[in-house]
Structure 1
Amino acid sequence: MQIQRLGLQDYTQTWAAMRSFSAKRQAHTEDELWIVEHPAVFTQGISGKAENLLNDNNIPVVQSDRGGQITYHGPGQLVIYCLIDLRRLGIGVKKMVSLIEDAIMDLLDTHGIDSELREGAHGVYVNGAKIAALGLKVKNGNTYHGLSVNVDMDLSPFLQINPCGYQGLAVTQMADLTDNVQLEAVGNELTQLLTHYVTRN
């Protein structure tokens, strides 16, 4: 598993890079995790509905090819893109989603944060508020896109949307639940957990 630390990157350019990587990869191509932050952007999944964007504003909206509904990305949020060959692992996308959720919950547990899953609504929640979202695209047995964890960011743009398509869904972040969280450190911790879960499968 290769880990790429990309820093702050434009969403559409990173999306194009993921598609290019996935189109060119061969059976022997090593899987990669990309750690990234994005400038403020709303992204709509393939089943996203326009009514889930509640207010016109100066934050761009990108129609993406990932699963799921609308979400927000911005500085202080950890985004990890999972470029994984599912066929080589012998698993399906549902199992991959489960592995990602398990890794996020383990991460939060190491920081003393109790989290849970919600039936029928992918992602990770703390006391009913969403702290992590995920959405994958699978093409030719390979995944791209991935997950986001709210670490230490401005949460107010989430008020401009129905997060992940759920009206009134509260969101939270690690910085409001524990002390001394650093985005870079959290990214390193979560990539280690993801690598462990994926490679042990």
Structure 2
Amino acid sequence: MINVKWWARPAEYLDVWQAMQAFTEARDGGTPDEIWLVEHRPVYTLGQAGKPEHILNSGSIPVVQSNRGGQVTYHGPGQVLAYCLIDLRRLGIYAKEYVELLEKGVIGVLKELGLARACCKAGAPGVYVPMEQDDLAKIAALGIKIRKGCAYHGVALNVAMDLSPFLGINPCGYEGLRTVDLRTCGISIPFEQAGDLLALRLSQVFEGYGSGVR
């Protein structure tokens, strides 16, 4: 059973990041997995291999060097973060498989909401939707950290947000990558409902993996 918890909104990135690290350091083989649902104050985060040149114009938005994988991304109001605190060793999941499970959970949500063509993109982790001329736009980003066989950080789904801060960066290190949200795609859903659905679908893919259901 995976425990799902909402953080008070909006949350400071550093507060949640420090709490994830503390949780991971303190857990043992019997600690239940958790998914934290979070909406952040505006912040740019750089992954461990993040290149500062991918930040084009941060303006008044703070930049935080994080320990997750990946390049630069933006978090802010209207975007739901599902921070997945998962014991990969206990479930027998390797990092590559874990990324695929995160993507599978998000795609399940999007298809349930009517975006039947949501997909992954080879060599570019995350979830995308086809737009005009079938160009792919990113609707969900992910970044993970694995410590002692346990994962934290997770996936960010754009629900209904001001997308303009993404113009201040090369999202995930890709110049000109278009970023969209559910609202842009014609999907109207209450923020909390989107978060609850995301946590449910992620829980199902993790628990299905653990039970041998693929």
TM (normalized to structure 1)? 0.98
- Unaligned runs of 5+ residues in structure 1 are none
1:42-57 pair list within 5 angstroms: 42-57=44-59
**Percent identity over paired residues:** 47
**Distance in 2 of aligned mates of 1:143 and 1:111:** 27
Match of 2:179 among 171, 184, 187: 171
1:21-32 pair list within 5 angstroms: 21-32=23-34
Partner of 2:7: 6
Q: Deviations over 1:93-136 (max 9, x none)?
A: 11111111011011000111121111100000111100000000
Which is worse superposed, 161-170 or 52-61? 52-61
Match of 1:150 among 155, 158, 175: 158
Partner of 1:117: 120
How far apart are residue 7 of structure 1 and its match?
3.1
SS of the counterpart of 1:7?
coil
Partner of 1:87: 89
Aligned length: 201
**Distance in 2 of aligned mates of 1:63 and 1:101:** 24
SS of the counterpart of 2:8?
strand
Partner of 1:187: 195
Match of 1:159 among 154, 167, 184: 167
**Distance in 1 of aligned mates of 2:183 and 2:19:** 30
Partner of 2:133: none
SS of the counterpart of 1:174?
coil
Match of 1:16 among 18, 24, 27: 18
How far apart are residue 21 of structure 1 and its match?
0.3
8 A Cα contact 2:182 2:188, kept in partner = no
How far apart are residue 163 of structure 1 and its match?
0.1
**Distance in 1 of aligned mates of 2:137 and 2:80:** 17
How far apart are residue 56 of structure 1 and its match?
4.1
Q: Write 1 or 2 for the structure with the bigger share of strand.
A: 1
**Distance in 2 of aligned mates of 1:179 and 1:146:** 23
- Unaligned runs of 5+ residues in structure 2 are 131-135, 210-214
Q: Deviations over 1:58-86 (max 9, x none)?
A: 10000000000000000000101000000
Partner of 1:35: 37
Q: Deviations over 1:41-67 (max 9, x none)?
A: 000000000100001411000000000
Counterpart code for 1:125: Y
8 A Cα contact 1:7 1:35, kept in partner = no
TM (normalized to structure 2)? 0.92
RMSD: 0.8
**Distance in 2 of aligned mates of 1:25 and 1:111:** 35
Counterpart code for 2:169: I
8 A Cα contact 1:32 1:84, kept in partner = yes
Q: Deviations over 1:7-40 (max 9, x none)?
A: 3210001000000000000110000000000000
**Distance in 2 of aligned mates of 1:169 and 1:178:** 20
Which is worse superposed, 162-171 or 176-185? 176-185
